[in-house]
Amino acid sequence: MEMRQIQYFIEVANREHMTEAAVALHVAQSAVSRQIVNLENELGVDLFIREGRRVKLTPLGKIFLKRITHAMNVIDDATREVKEYLDPEKGTIRIAFPISLAAHTLPTAISSFRMYYPEAKFQLKQGLYNDLIDGVASGDFNMALIGPVPMEEKKVNRKILFTENVVALLPIHHPLADRETLRLRELKDDPFVLLPEGFVFRDIVINACKDIGFEPQIAFEGDDIDALKGLVSAGLGVTLMPEVTLMESLSRSTVKIPLVEPNVTRTVGVITPKERVLLPTEQLFYQFLQDFFARLSYFKE
């Protein structure tokens, strides 16, 4: 089995198209087809179902893709590790993150880190909560920012960086919009706009409401944080949000109000694999994250 065959296989599997894979690889389509056939002959199984130049993975092909992708990540990590031990300040950090930390938290940390290490590089991937945990555990990436921090998860190491408040976001003309604080119970008759099922923050909101005796009336769902802001701005409902998601932008048509009774919070932290060590540049960033958010917490206090 040759490295070239594996590289061609992964590209075709991800694109499900021989010609598109060939273009991405800068080789002839016939060369890609030939290497895939050679790989299948060597393995003794069909990896793809052919439909002209478009292809789909067979069940065995899907298993092989998962395993070989993990193997390639291990090889890539080994190569990077050797290089980074020679010069860790110029290495690459692979880190994943949820949508709620994309606008402010992660960019702020990376920007500050690059002030000290301007030649460091980043490979970023956005994902859902459980995908972040699985991705770190399986080797898709070595580090993920996450909120809330999964304290019971056995597959990863965890470090809480800070705890943030969850606030209410209301339309500017809402009857309670002039309040300095809100009790969550006061919103029990309001329509809520929430993220779709599968987003852990949706569960945080629903559980916070249930804990004080009501289930929120879900009027609309938005695919991301900005969509929720837009729905609230349009007067279609209220929502709860991590305060950090409102740091950069708050529509004039909305108002954020701190919650009391209960005080809803979310931990934010970083998870790393239990079965693998961080590469030198990643270790550098991991330590920087802890120091950076510790300083921020100190100045807030």
Q: Domains in the chain, start-ordered, CATH in brackets?
A: 3-68 (1.10.10.10), 88-162+267-300 (3.40.190.10), 163-265 (3.40.190.290)
Report pLDDT for 146: 95
Q: Over 60: is that where the pLDDT of 301 sits? A: no
Of the pLDDT bands very low, low, confident and very high (cuts 50, 70, 90), residue 299 is low
Q: What does the DSSP 8-state code read for residue 196?
A: P
Range 54-65 average pLDDT = 87
Report pLDDT for 8: 85
Rounded to an integer, what distance in angstroms lies between the CA atom of residue 294 and that of residue 298? 6
Range 19-41 average pLDDT = 86
Q: Over 90: is that where the pLDDT of 204 sits? A: yes
| Main-chain dihedrals φ then ψ at residue 149, nearest 5 degrees | -70, 130
> Helix, strand, or coil here: 267?
strand
Note the pTM of the prediction, 2 decimals: 0.70
Range 75-83 average pLDDT = 75
Report pLDDT for 3: 83
Rounded to an integer, what distance in angstroms lies between the CA atom of residue 157 and that of residue 294? 19
Average pLDDT of the chain, as a whole number? 89
Range 193-208 average pLDDT = 92
Range 243-254 average pLDDT = 83
Show Cβ contacts of residue 296 under 8 Å, excluding neighbours closer than 6 positions.
162
Of 69-78, 127-136, 188-197, least confident by mean pLDDT is 69-78
Report pLDDT for 176: 96
Report pLDDT for 84: 66
Report pLDDT for 114: 93
Range 129-155 average pLDDT = 91
Range 148-177 average pLDDT = 94
- If you count them, how many residues does the chain have? 301
Q: Over 90: is that where the pLDDT of 162 sits? A: yes
Cβ atoms of 217 and 176 within 8 Å: the answer is: no
Q: Over 70: is that where the pLDDT of 218 sits? A: yes
Q: Over 70: is that where the pLDDT of 57 sits? A: yes
Q: Over 90: is that where the pLDDT of 96 sits? A: yes
Instruction: Count CA atoms within 13 Å of residue 92 on its CB side.
Output: 12
Give 240 or 38, the one with higher predicted confidence.
Answer: 240
Range 3-30 average pLDDT = 86
Of the pLDDT bands very low, low, confident and very high (cuts 50, 70, 90), residue 24 is confident
CB neighbours of residue 172 within 10 Å: 14
